[in-house]
Amino acid sequence: MLFMNSFIRRRLKTVIAVALAGTFMAAGSASAQQALSIRIGQNIAVGTPLDLGVKRFAQLVEERSGGKIKVQDYPAGQLGNEQQMIEGMQIGTLDMAAITGSTYGNVLPEANVLGMLYAFRDPAHMRRALEGPVGDELAAALLKKTGIHIVSSSWYYGTRQLTSNKPVETPADLEGMKLRVVPVPIFEAYWRAMGATPTPVDFKDLFTALQTHVVDAQENPLATMKGAGVQLVNKYLTLTDHLVSNVIVGMSDDLHSRLSPEQLELVKTAVRDAGIYQDELVVKSETDLLAELKAGGMTVIHPDKALFREKVKDVPNTFEGGLLADLYNKIQAVQ
């Protein structure tokens, strides 16, 4: 009887151990099947082409992964300004961000070339340059310096134009004008060369800064400008076409290391396809918005752009001792 009791106890222990092992294995399997979560931020208003492009990226990733990868997007600076998002990717608290390329000039001097006025002739020229050796050179330098991987550097953010509270027809009209700029060195250098007083203001504070006359003017693509309500406080739009601006979709090294090769390829493809969609929205919006802004009462000025180019022609050779002249010339050489 004692032997039977001992045998039964040993059998029960074995059964319990097997059951527990099965439970742990099932839990581990369920955990393994949980969706991978990706957090992506951007600093521009909801409903703008960039916001819709990021949302399309999230949709494509979830669809193509069969729900195994979930993307949470945080628009309109919910995760901080662009500089803070770069820092988030560096330390791994943010997985991805879609932000203007020139902002990276704060952490990588070479990236200031993306903020050089009249560097790119048009959106197609920008794509050819940044999807080729110039883009590869910038991506390698950024990864080495910050640990941030560039997934794409050629999303078209728009061609930047100038708005102001008084007419600007020539660079002489900019003398002494307080112009809101993206807080990166190259923008300040260029607009100072134009004669303006560059004044860094975070994008989310732009409308208030214009409304309270902290600044008199600003420059942005039309869609971004409209999203911020600039047309309500600036009544003059000068079509300077001074910068074909790009968006860099970056990824933290932490996320990059957690993705399998197949997952990484899926994410890269989704970024590419979402970028095509976003670019189409920007191009259409530029045409539609110009007509809308005219109809809404803005005075549209078509200046002699050669006058503006002339004012800044020496900046590539003088900014930080000509540090960017080589990269700038490589961009100019792209056909």
Write out the chain's pLDDT in tens, 335 residues.
Answer: 433 344 334 443 333 343 434 433 333 333 445 889 999 999 998 999 999 999 999 999 999 999 999 999 999 999 999 999 999 999 999 999 999 999 999 999 999 999 999 999 999 999 999 999 999 999 999 999 999 999 999 999 999 999 999 999 999 999 999 999 988 888 999 999 999 999 999 888 999 999 999 999 999 999 889 989 999 999 999 999 999 999 999 999 999 999 999 999 999 999 999 999 999 999 999 999 999 999 999 999 999 999 999 999 999 999 989 989 999 999 999 99
pTM of structure? 0.83
Burial of 10 (0-12, 13-18, 19+ CB in 10 A): exposed
DSSP readout, 28-75? HHHHHHSPEEEEEE--SPTTSHHHHHHHHHHHHHHHHTTTSEEEEEE-
Distance of CA 92 to the CA centre of its chain: 17
Single out the residue of 231, 197, 228, 229 nearest to residue 214, CA to CA. Answer: 197
3-state secondary structure of 84: helix
3-state secondary structure of 130: helix
d(Cα 182, Cα 104) in Å, to the nearest integer?
11
Contacts of 282 (CB under 8 A, 6+ apart): 49, 156, 157, 158, 221, 223
Parallel, antiparallel, or unpaired: how do β-strands 149-164 and 217-220 relate?
antiparallel
Q: What is the C-alpha end-to-end distance of the chain, expressed in Å?
A: 94
Contact predicate 147/90, CB 8 Å: yes
User: What is the dihedral angle through the alpha carbons of 174, 178, 180, 183, rounded to the nearest 10 degrees?
Assistant: 110
d(Cα 141, Cα 145) in Å, to the nearest integer?
6
3-state secondary structure of 92: coil
Q: What is the pLDDT of residue 243?
A: 96
Annotated domain spans of the chain: 23-333
Q: What is the pLDDT of residue 182?
A: 85
Contact predicate 124/314, CB 8 Å: no
The structure tokens 């590869």 sit at 136
d(Cα 2, Cα 7) in Å, to the nearest integer?
9
| Cβ density class 86-120: b for 16+ within 10 Å, e for less | bbbbbeeebbbbbbbbbbbbbbbbbbbbbbbbbbb
Contacts of 178 (CB under 8 A, 6+ apart): 196, 197, 199, 214, 215, 216, 217
d(Cα 145, Cα 168) in Å, to the nearest integer?
39
Give CA angle at 65 (63, 69), nearest 5°: 100
CATH topology of domain 23-333: D-Maltodextrin-Binding Protein; domain 2 (3.40.190)
d(Cα 193, Cα 174) in Å, to the nearest integer?
10
